[in-house]
């Protein structure tokens, strides 16, 4: 801490990097954990050990698996985007780093929207309009 009780620039930078790393780890954990749970549910459902909640028939096992996997990927992507934003804004807000962040956000947004359509079968704004 500085003399006036506030964090120094170096301490703020280190804190931002640490927070970004935790968001990255949380994103990776969300994807891995969600994928693992989706695979376990798929295996149990296919083996008939576990009744499939959202699927009325066995032929719906794969769509349910894809939906569960897609949701975990979406959650992980959102956390990874948050980490990128923190890192770019706090660490080195140069024009080049902001442009790279913008490109990453555009790509991940496209992936997220594609996954939403794959999971729900409709665009996100169509779902909101029907509620």
pTM of the full structure: 0.74
Q: What are phi and psi of 93, to 5 degrees?
A: -80, 60
Give the CA angle between residues 37, 34, 120 to the nearest 5°: 105
Cα separation, 59 vs 61, in Å, equals 6
Q: Please report, for the chain, the start and end positions of each structural domain, with discontinuous segments joined by +.
A: 9-130
Q: Write the pLDDT tens digit of every residue in 15-57.
A: 989 999 999 999 999 999 999 999 999 988 888 776 655 445 5
DSSP class of 131: -
Token pair recorded at residue 6? 């506030």
């Amino acid at each position: 801490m500085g003399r006036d009780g506030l964090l120094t620039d170096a301490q703020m930078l280190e804190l931002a990097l640490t927070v970004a790393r935790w968001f990255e780890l949380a994103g990776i954990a969300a994807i891995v954990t969600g994928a693992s749970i989706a695979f376990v549910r798929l295996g149990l459902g296919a083996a008939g050990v576990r009744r499939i909640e959202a699927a009325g028939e066995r032929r719906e096992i794969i769509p349910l698996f894809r939906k569960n996997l897609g949701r975990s990927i979406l959650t992980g992507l959102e956390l990874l985007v948050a980490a990128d934003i923190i890192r770019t804004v706090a660490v080195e807000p140069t024009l080049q780093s902001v442009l790279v962040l913008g490109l990453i956000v555009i790509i991940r947004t496209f992936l997220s929207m594609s996954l939403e359509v794959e999971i729900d079968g409709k665009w996100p704004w169509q779902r909101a309009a029907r509620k």
